[in-house]
Amino acid sequence: MTSSRRKSAYLSGLYDGSPFILVIVPFATLFGVLATEAGLNVLEALAFSVVVIAGAAQFTALQLMVEDAPTVIVLISALAVNLRMAMYSASLTPYIGAAPLWQRAICAYVTVDQSYVVGITKFERAPEMTVPQRVAYFIGAVTPVVPLWYAFTFVGALIGTRVPESWALDFAIPICFLAMIAPMFRTAAHVVAALVAVVVALLAAGVPYSLGLIVAGVAGMMAGAQTELWLERRGAAA
Amino acid sequence: MSDIDSATLWIVIVGLGVGSFALRFIFIGLVGDRAMPAWLLRHLRYTAVAILPALVAPQVIWPAATDGAFDIPRAAAAAVAFGVGLVTKNVILAIAGGAITLYGLLYLLG
């Protein structure tokens, strides 16, 4: 019984994560191609994707290394791009923090933008899920993403030629995220959080090392939390 | 070809790997099932709706592919993907709408 429910949670995560196949394949290929152009061999490009498993941070590190930036700056910048992963980790903790440590370690390794957005959407909508079901669902959601991330980094490193810019693949990721964010706007507080985050992100676009993103994210979260409190107080008074 | 020094490369790969895992593990792994304060949970509820739009907004307004120049096909595709998502709550339809808008306008205006 339990294992069959866990299996169906895994399959439903797999289904919900599958649209990202369209994004991950070109994105991973592009990383492999650019890594090769920067002078990495196939093994090094693949190791980069397996060990780091974070697209934007990998592109940042690669770019800075090509520009001969000091190693410390490369590390700090790429980790700053990944700071949002700590926020994802915190946000997932109430849902899967009770799982065994080894499962939490695996979940941590596969926490990326895609698995986070799919996972958190489901967990918020289905509070009745058990912790094992949530873990199974989360692993399901990332199954179409992570192996393809490795495989197509490898393919890209083998091809080593540029993907035509006319394919406009740069925009696959924004479209996918916008499509997934939209159904999350359930209360006025969610809308306020997003609006504040967007405005601050645009104002802070010039802040170095992607720290503007973190500032914008925190500002949005504070705005959402304050709106929620305000709505609660008004509801209590009425 | 600007060859990156192999030692530097591996320091970056391993350093980034360890650092990225630490960022992802810090709460899930170390906090575990200990209760977190209500004010923190209240903020964390808005992580997704704050961070993801903040990640996307600059790419919509200043796309890297056009060297930061505002681009009508990309902006329209973003608006359609978001709009269809809001109305239908269907992610696949929203992605399809955004993709059709992007390629349609790139073809018409290109």
Q: Domain residue spans in chain A?
A: 2-184, 186-238
Residue A121 — pLDDT band, cuts 50, 70, 90?
A: very high
Mean pLDDT of A195-212: 86
Token pair belonging to A221: 């979260």
Mean pLDDT of B13-17: 96
Question: Could you tell me which residue, A145 or A165, shows the higher pLDDT?
Answer: A145
Touching B: A residues 187-216, CB under 8 Å:
189-190, 193-194, 196-198, 200-202, 205, 213, 216
Q: Which of A3-12, A28-37, A111-120, B90-99 has the highest mean pLDDT?
A: A111-120
Token pair belonging to A44: 């090094």
Is A78 an interface residue toward B (CB < 8 Å)?
Answer: yes
Query: Contact B101/B83 with Cβ under 8 angstroms?
Result: no
Distance from CA of A145 to the nearest CA of B (A): 16
- Please state the ipTM of this predicted complex: 0.82
What is chain B's length? 110
CB contact under 8 A, A179 and B102: no
Interface mutation vs chain B, best among A15, A84, A214, A221, most B CBs within 10 Å: A221
CB atoms within 10 A of CB A234: 9
User: How high does pLDDT run on average in chain A?
Assistant: 88
B85 Cβ neighbours under 8 A, 6+ residues apart? A178, A179, A180, A181, A182, A183, B91, B93, B94
Q: In this model, does residue A1 exceed pLDDT 70?
A: no
Indicate if the alpha-carbon torsion angle A48, B18, A208, A169 is positive or negative.
Answer: positive
Query: Contact B36/A93 with Cβ under 8 angstroms?
Result: yes
Q: In this model, does residue A206 exceed pLDDT 60?
A: yes
Residue A167 — pLDDT band, cuts 50, 70, 90?
A: low
Helix axes A146-159, A21-37, angle to 10 degrees: 40
* Predicted local confidence at residue B3, as pLDDT: 66
For residues B91 and A22, what is the distance between their CA atoms, to the nearest angstrom?
13
* Predicted local confidence at residue A73, as pLDDT: 80
Q: In this model, does residue A188 exceed pLDDT 70?
A: yes
Candidate from B17, B34, B44 with C-beta closest to A91:
B44
CB contact under 8 A, A74 and B29: no
Token pair belonging to A99: 């799982």
- Interface size between A and B, measured as CB pairs under 8 A: 290
Measured between beta carbons, which residues in chain B are less than 8 angstroms from residue A222? 43
Is A157 an interface residue toward B (CB < 8 Å)?
Answer: no
- Residue the block writes with tokens 């196939």: A42
- Tell me the C-alpha to C-alpha distance, in Å, between residue A77 and each of A55, A83, A99, A199, B10: 14, 10, 32, 23, 16
CB contact under 8 A, B16 and A51: yes
Interface mutation vs chain B, best among A37, A84, A162, A171, most B CBs within 10 Å: A171
Nearest chain B residue to A171, by CA = B74
Token pair belonging to A77: 């910048």
Mean pLDDT of A117-130: 94
Token pair belonging to A155: 């393919």
Token pair belonging to A234: 């008004």
Q: In this model, does residue B98 exceed pLDDT 90?
A: yes
The helix or strand, by DSSP H or E, that contains position B23, with its residue range, turns out to be: helix B6-28
A176 Cβ neighbours under 8 A, 6+ residues apart? A19, A20, A22, A23, A114, B81, B95
Distance from CA of A77 to the nearest CA of B (A): 10
Measured between beta carbons, which residues in chain B are less than 8 angstroms from residue A193? 46, 49-50
User: How high does pLDDT run on average in chain B?
Assistant: 89
B19 Cβ neighbours under 8 A, 6+ residues apart? A75, A79, A82
